[in-house]
Amino acid sequence: MTSPDAPYKAIAARKKAAQNALIPHQWRITVPHPAPLSVLSIPSNSSILTPLEHEITSQHDATSLAAAIRSRTYTAHAVALAFCKRAAIAHQLTNCLTEIFFDDALVRAKFLDEEYARTSKTLGPLHGVPISLKDTFKVRGYDASIGIASLSENPAQENSLLVDVLLQQGAVLYCKTNVPQTLMALDSDNNVFGRVLNPCNRHVTAGGSSGGEGALIALRGSVLGVGTDIGGSIRIPAMCNGVYGVKPSRGRVPFAGQETGSRPGGAGIALNASAGPIATSLRDCELFLSAVAGAAPWERDSEVVYGGWEEQGTAGQEGKMLIGVLRSDRVIEPLPPVKKVLDETVQMLRSQGMEVVEIDAPALEECPSLVNEFFTMGGANYMFDLLEKTGEPLIEWLSLRLKRGKMIKMGGLVAIHAHKEALEAEMLKIWTDAKGRRIDAFICPVAPHPVPPIDRWNGVGYTSSFVLLDYPAGTLPIREFTEEDLHDERTGNSEPLGSWDEYNRKLWDKNTIDRRVYLNTTLSIQVVAPRLQERRLLQAMTIIDNVVKRREYPHARL
């Protein structure tokens, strides 16, 4: 039982008070009560943003902002100020921020403007582009508490390597974003900062563990942010908030120097998270990945894989691209709206003359349980030690799912890695079709259900499996959930595939859920490419996105 005077409560109160003080009085809004289901329109209708600031934050992505700063249409300072204001509004609506460093960002932007005026040269491809960061990243002088009281009030002494890379390439960093306690939940809630709300529909989850990042970008308080992903923590918030997100392969983007709440030295034997972009456009994901590669981070971190952007794969052979479609992981059968949007995407691709082949991957059935073995190998004891230092309890969702356990012994560890290697070898077969042709990428669900109510996310096998296999993968928003989708029913009377599948069915059963909760959400798909083929992934995602959004089919990109 938690003590009423447990130290974590005072720490949380101080952190929230300090955070609140960093939002200028003139940027404060009155949140309607009761708040509307969707708050997406509130920033644009707010008198806090000037017409120019509304234009900057509403009509651009990071790529066009970089171009506008280079052409001197906007100053870096004007862009930074606009996004600081809009991020402040977004936070008041969704509780999406943790650390706020608007003043530092404005000083940085002014410096960039002065240097550009003096030299007529930009600092790098991200010159003047505001970028938000998940709270795990360390920024000198600010906490990286990941929503845990015992890690709070302990400012970082050094930057994470990726922070230095982004600064080297000209970025303006201005805030960090909220996460779930322990980083192990799919709904971003913790005892220090509280819960992130989904700005599209406040009754459904904003996702996790990069949930604050997803919510901030959905409200355009950022157009390009950085998340991390070990079970789906980039792709799931991207799906929940209707934006784009890419999980690279391990080592493609620098991960060193982050706070993850894990025992130091454990990364070599565990599943490893990847850092990657969450953005309002795919070309911004490419901008981020190419800018990082252009900084040659492998020269500063031996864990980063060598390879410039042009060396990270190419989609298409002889001007054609072959796409696979994977409809089920054999563990959880997707619900009708998820099946429907996947089938719609296939039909749209085929209508444009693209070849789509059905693929099956029996080995995927083994991946979710193996991922769980990796997640539990340390018994979560290090995290419990951090919590108990200040008497901090688990949040309600985790309290039913997480407990101390025994650390796995060497024999068990070897067996887990042997199983992983066998699955990796077996899964290589899916990249060649029956005719011996190379499959460029495949599409599949991000999750077996639409964006669910708060704290009701089901299994993560559709995302965590591709962490286990180390495949780069991304979330592609397809369309809004509609009234028509409410009437789609499951076909057949088959028995559930297991307990996860049984729970999943309850998320569509009229006796256990009001399906109308899914309105005001986005239906997305996942695109997956072979290991360390991030450029190939982005090319495939871009072509599919253009077909789905009915833009000109970009044959020239192949």
- Domain ranges in the chain? 49-300+314-557
Architecture of the domain defined by 49-300+314-557? Alpha-Beta Complex (3.90)
First-to-final CA distance of the chain: 60
Residue pair 348/547 in contact (Cβ under 8 Å)? The answer is yes
State how far Cα 143 lies from the chain centre: 21
- Nearest CA-CA partner of 355 in 525, 556, 543: 543
Q: How far is CA 149 from CA 159, 187, 194, 261, 475, in A?
A: 21, 18, 12, 12, 32
- Per the annotation, binding residues for substrate are 183, 209, 230-233
Burial 159-198 (b: 16+ CB within 10 A, else e): bbbbbbbbbbbbbbbbbbbbbbbbbbbbbbbbbbbebbbb
The CA radius of gyration of the chain, in Å to the nearest whole number, is 22
- Nearest CA-CA partner of 331 in 184, 477, 466, 447: 447
Per-residue confidence in pLDDT tens, the chain, 558 aa? 677 799 999 999 999 999 999 999 999 999 888 889 999 999 999 999 999 999 999 999 999 999 999 999 999 999 999 999 999 999 999 999 999 999 999 999 999 999 999 999 999 999 999 999 999 999 999 999 999 999 999 999 999 999 999 999 999 999 999 999 999 999 999 999 999 999 999 999 999 999 999 999 999 999 999 999 999 999 999 999 999 999 999 999 999 999 999 988 777 788 989 999 999 999 999 999 999 999 999 999 999 999 999 999 999 876 689 999 999 999 999 999 999 999 999 999 999 999 999 999 999 999 999 999 999 999 999 999 999 999 999 999 999 999 999 999 999 999 999 999 999 999 999 999 999 999 999 999 999 999 999 999 999 999 999 999 999 999 999 999 999 999 999 887 789 999 999 999 999 999 999 999 999 999 999 999 999 999 999 999 999 999 999 875 443 333
Per-residue pLDDT, 553: 44
**Helix %, strand %, coil % of the chain (to 5):** 40, 10, 45
What's the rounded Cα separation, in Å, for the pair 443 and 464?
A: 15
> Three-state DSSP class for 398?
helix
**Tell me, what DSSP letter sits at residue 460?**
-
**Catalytic residue ranges:** 134, 209, 233
- Nearest CA-CA partner of 261 in 212, 327, 363, 190: 190
The residue to which tokens 């008198």 are assigned: 47
> Three-state DSSP class for 350?
helix
Q: Which two tokens stand for residue 74?
A: 């906007």
CA dihedral sign of residues 99, 100, 106, 109:
positive
| DSSP sequence for 107-129 | HHHHHHHHHHHHHS--SSTTTT-
Per-residue pLDDT, 318: 62
Q: Which two tokens stand for residue 503?
A: 């729970």
Per-residue pLDDT, 462: 98
Residue pair 243/280 in contact (Cβ under 8 Å)? The answer is yes
**Tell me, what DSSP letter sits at residue 220?**
T
Per-residue pLDDT, 491: 84
- Per the annotation, binding residues are 183, 209, 230-233
Helix (H) / strand (E) containing 357:
strand 355-358
